[in-house]
Structure 1
Amino acid sequence: MSTPHSSSNVHDRAQQALADDFLRKAVHFTTDRLRNKKQAVTGEFGNWEAWRERGQQIRQHTIAHLDYYLDQFARHLEAHGAHVHFAATGEEASYIVREIAAAKSAKRAVKSKSMVTEEIHLNHHLEEMGVQVVETDLGEYIIQLAGETPSHIIIPAIHKNREQIRDLFEAESGEQLTTETRDLAAFARRRLRQEYLTADIGITGCNFGIAETGSIALFTNEGNADLVMNMPKTHIVLMGMERVLPTMSDLEVFAHLLPKSATGQNVITYMSIVTGPRRDNEADGAEEMHVIILDNGRSRQLGDPDFQAILHCIRCGACLNVCPVYRQIGGHAYGSVYPGPIGAVLSPLLNDGETYQDLPYASSLCGACYEACPVKIPLHDMLVRERQRLVATGHVKPAEKAAFRAFRQVFGNAGRYQTTIRIARRLQFPLAHDGYIRAKIGPVAGWTTSRDFPALPKRTFRELWPELVRKGNGRG
């Protein structure tokens, strides 16, 4: 799959997104709606901060004892007849899925929405071996037809309008369709129902794995996950290693936190819990179940006081809906499966190399993401720490390094500071008008295009201070 923005630089991708008026309007409209619905439902629910605190406590405890709960989870899964696989990398997880598909001589697979499968590019790996993969979540189905990646964790097709969706459906089917939502949904329903009936494998993600029972909990609004894990004979679950909870009682807490934070729903439409494959006396369920527990860089955060809390994330997307950067540029500008504040922190942590090292700078550090997070992850603090680490390891532009060296030299000495201010006051004269610098020249252009740049005053506070002291003494 591709994204609409092909540049490898987040600044360039952001500039492309800012030039797309439809994208910006669509993202604004949807994130405003989600944010307002969340505020309404959490206000009505009451004691929201107490629920956030409880969610944070559960996640802190679980991640602090992750090895214990993963072992318990795996043992209970196997006791119920499931096959458990631990994958150190995305490549290993994809290989396990391919091996299962080959053993079943699979030709078709249906999937419910899963960010982990996006993370490891599972569809591409399966299609390479001749397995046709069909996304069954409506938003995922739309972007699959478009050949794109999700632009939002919860609403993957946030950047598409009904006309674009109709065109995609017509190109896929050859039918003439209207732009009415009910007609588009009806078309997708007809097409996808046939896929459930003919699929050899069903692939799902996992919102939460319950350690005490070995159960998989899936949250959906379309019910497609139920069909994906029950209709095909083989069910494959991919879950990040951090997505485990100790008990069913803990799941109750997140059954409130997740839907309210994600979409402003009081309750999720479908919360499906499956514990192992179908038993002899049961009418529903897959005959065989495989659960692949993925590391892929997650374990590197364990024990790190700066970043272990990133594993608390429950992938609700609430931080995207309040982020002033995401709301302007959308998800594809991040160039990562995980956009927004969570992606700006998580992507550099999970991936070695230079690819995502610029993402921590795609933030205003306003802290809105922390206020929105249902488990109180301090994403803004983590972004600062990531920037600090990048600078400490030499990931800084020479011009920026020189600028801060000069800044230190000037502001570290009172005499140099005063001299520099006097020189700057003279040099700014051709650029300053009505108390502001509005010239779009060199490095100041990015600032003056959208922000005020006050000119240096005729007298600084330091220069005024002796006079203020004399006047104050005179009054005394």
Structure 2
Amino acid sequence: MNHAKRATEFNKDEAKVNWHDKALWYVREKRDKSAHNVQGWEYLRQLGSEIKANVLSNLDEYLIQFESNAKKNGVHVHWAANAQEHNEIIQSILEKHNAKKVVKSKSMLTEECHLNPFLEDKGIEVIDTDLGERIVQLAEEPPSHIVLPAIHKTKEEVDVLFQEHLGTKPSQGNPEYLVSEARKHLRDKFLNADVAITGVNFAVAETGGFVVCTNEGNADMGVHLAKAHIACMGIEKIIPEEKHLGVFLRLLARSATGQPITTYSSHFNQAEEGKELHIVIVDNGRTEQLSREDFRASLHCIRCGACMNTCPIYRRSGGHSYDYTIPGPIGSILSPGKDLKKHSSLPFASTLCGSCSNVCPVKINIHEQLYKWRQVIVKEEKQPIVKKSILKTAGMVLSKPKLYKIAGKSARFALKHAPKFMIYNKLNAWGKARDLPEVKGDSFDEWYKKRKKNE
């Protein structure tokens, strides 16, 4: 199914759609309040964008510098060209430690590589320890948002889910009770884990260290209790120097959830005594995206989710309708680069209103890239006959002023005088859920000419 069909399924529950929309807009409003309290917010955004642009222009050098410094710190550095290599490297590390139980903090890269099912097929237990991630894991669903993975589930649905999988008592969705039970459940998993896996928010070329940002402390808990720590990072997560962390840490939390900073910003430079620290650096299509001049800026993304929280399409279609690890506007840029045919509908799942670009903390021109992908898709992917015919007709009408005026007059006359069933039918998708605006007698051009004549 394409995005439109999946969105139609999501929209069958109108009350839930309205709740989903409202919940995400609340996060967007928190972002605005937090950003407006920072003097020089736009300067920070510009600085973040320029640092990222510098990184992408010198990515090979920064990656080699990072590897060199990480090795000096005693860190084991691995390189993976794709998802399969990433998963096999992690499997080999787990086999070395005879590990059968793994705790994992939130990592969109491991979701992208489908690490969990890969390891589970090998008989290894993988527990996602971020609360939202654990909820969707129990529900056997992918995350629907990169920061709020279970935003599509109400607390009442989580209540039922916990009763089924954790043996909790019915609580009518009491958040305090559900969080308490989740903590008990996860504490046992932490204490018995052999290896901890985390993502990487920022990797510092200057030091060979990296930072993991969480609000629950689950990454720290897993790392400090397990005998080995595996960190998985995309090649674009590099920043040049430690001083640049101040820019991105201030941008990330405010853009993601409206917080001044994440509750835990954990720095890892070397393994604890008697333990091992591994870093798996992954490409998986990133260099290909880097080679696309029109779309390379998408690699600036720091995974804050702000574009999703503001997008009117995402808020009312849900993350699962995108059928890609990274949903929403940014995912609609990244996904066609991975599989143009499969994800050809996603760049069209946008109003091109530009709100995503306005809130992006590193100034990615998201709506412009979506528009550019549309041009690529129309040329390279076969379009439905009906769509091609309508667009061809529209192009002809819009290119001929006389024809445009005749069409405009005819449409205004029909909207004013034609029976309602002729206007609101299957051909008018817009009219399924809303009334068309009242039609005035004259076009703007006619009104303007009359006005000039009477002056």
Instruction: Provide the TM-score with structure 2 as the length reference.
Output: 0.93
Structure 2 residue 230 is the aligned partner of structure 1 residue 236:
yes
2:30 maps to a residue whose letter is K
* Alpha carbons 1:111, 1:204 under 8 Å: kept: yes
Structure 2 residue 336 is the aligned partner of structure 1 residue 348:
yes
Q: Which residue in 1 is equivalent to 2:318? A: 330
Q: Which residue in 2 is equivalent to 1:440? A: 424
CA distance in 1: counterparts of 2:272 and 2:443, whole angstroms: 77
Instruction: Provide the TM-score with structure 1 as the length reference.
Output: 0.89
For the structure 1 residues 430 and 95, does the alpha-carbon distance in structure 2 shift closer, same or farther, using more than 3 Å as the test?
farther
* Alpha carbons 2:166, 2:185 under 8 Å: kept: no
Aligned partner of 2:154 among 150, 161, 179: 161
- Number of equivalent positions: 454
CA distance in 2: counterparts of 1:32 and 1:224, whole angstroms: 27
Further displaced range: 368-377 or 184-193: 184-193
What's the offset of the Cα at 1:406? 2.0
What's the offset of the Cα at 1:412? 3.1
What's the offset of the Cα at 1:147? 0.8
Deviations 1:325-352 (A, max 9, x none): 1111221111111111111111212x12
For the structure 1 residues 420 and 160, does the alpha-carbon distance in structure 2 shift closer, same or farther, using more than 3 Å as the test?
closer
Q: Which residue in 1 is equivalent to 2:357? A: 370
1:266 maps to a residue whose letter is P
* Alpha carbons 2:80, 2:86 under 8 Å: kept: yes
Q: SS of 1:13's equivalent? A: helix
What's the offset of the Cα at 1:125? 0.3
Further displaced range: 78-87 or 205-214: 78-87
Aligned partner of 2:300 among 285, 298, 312: 312
2:134 maps to a residue whose letter is Y
CA distance in 1: counterparts of 2:259 and 2:201, whole angstroms: 16
For the structure 1 residues 36 and 421, does the alpha-carbon distance in structure 2 shift closer, same or farther, using more than 3 Å as the test?
closer
Identity of aligned residues (%): 40
* Alpha carbons 1:260, 1:266 under 8 Å: kept: yes
Q: Which residue in 1 is equivalent to 2:286? A: 298
1:26-425 matches, within 5 Å, as 26-178=19-171, 179-279=173-273, 287-349=275-337, 351-414=338-401, 416-417=403-404
For the structure 1 residues 174 and 266, does the alpha-carbon distance in structure 2 shift closer, same or farther, using more than 3 Å as the test?
same
CA distance in 2: counterparts of 1:422 and 1:266, whole angstroms: 55
CA distance in 2: counterparts of 1:64 and 1:138, whole angstroms: 37
For the structure 1 residues 27 and 429, does the alpha-carbon distance in structure 2 shift closer, same or farther, using more than 3 Å as the test?
closer
What's the offset of the Cα at 1:176? 2.2
Further displaced range: 353-362 or 34-43: 34-43
CA distance in 2: counterparts of 1:461 and 1:139, whole angstroms: 51
What's the offset of the Cα at 1:61? 1.0
2:341 maps to a residue whose letter is E
For the structure 1 residues 406 and 207, does the alpha-carbon distance in structure 2 shift closer, same or farther, using more than 3 Å as the test?
same
What's the offset of the Cα at 1:306? 0.9
CA distance in 2: counterparts of 1:394 and 1:170, whole angstroms: 46
* Alpha carbons 2:168, 2:181 under 8 Å: kept: no
Q: Which residue in 2 is equivalent to 1:449? A: 432
* Alpha carbons 1:432, 1:455 under 8 Å: kept: no
CA distance in 1: counterparts of 2:151 and 2:447, whole angstroms: 54
Deviations 1:54-77 (A, max 9, x none): 111111111111111111111111
CA distance in 2: counterparts of 1:422 and 1:164, whole angstroms: 52
CA distance in 1: counterparts of 2:3 and 2:212, whole angstroms: 33
CA distance in 2: counterparts of 1:302 and 1:126, whole angstroms: 30
Further displaced range: 36-45 or 153-162: 36-45
For the structure 1 residues 249 and 145, does the alpha-carbon distance in structure 2 shift closer, same or farther, using more than 3 Å as the test?
same
* Alpha carbons 1:438, 1:448 under 8 Å: kept: no
1:335 maps to a residue whose letter is D
For the structure 1 residues 46 and 416, does the alpha-carbon distance in structure 2 shift closer, same or farther, using more than 3 Å as the test?
closer
Larger Rg computed on CA atoms: 1
Deviations 1:403-453 (A, max 9, x none): 2222233333345445656766777676356xxx97332432x11224554
Q: SS of 1:150's equivalent? A: coil
* Alpha carbons 1:177, 1:184 under 8 Å: kept: no
CA distance in 1: counterparts of 2:406 and 2:33, whole angstroms: 55
For the structure 1 residues 139 and 463, does the alpha-carbon distance in structure 2 shift closer, same or farther, using more than 3 Å as the test?
closer
Q: SS of 2:230's equivalent? A: strand
CA distance in 2: counterparts of 1:229 and 1:464, whole angstroms: 70
Further displaced range: 292-301 or 451-460: 451-460
Q: Which residue in 2 is equivalent to 1:4? A: none
What's the offset of the Cα at 1:43? 1.9
Q: CA RMSD in A?
A: 2.4
What's the offset of the Cα at 1:274? 0.7
Further displaced range: 423-432 or 42-51: 423-432
For the structure 1 residues 409 and 71, does the alpha-carbon distance in structure 2 shift closer, same or farther, using more than 3 Å as the test?
same
What's the offset of the Cα at 1:145? 0.7
What's the offset of the Cα at 1:170? 1.9
CA distance in 1: counterparts of 2:94 and 2:150, whole angstroms: 28
1:67 maps to a residue whose letter is D
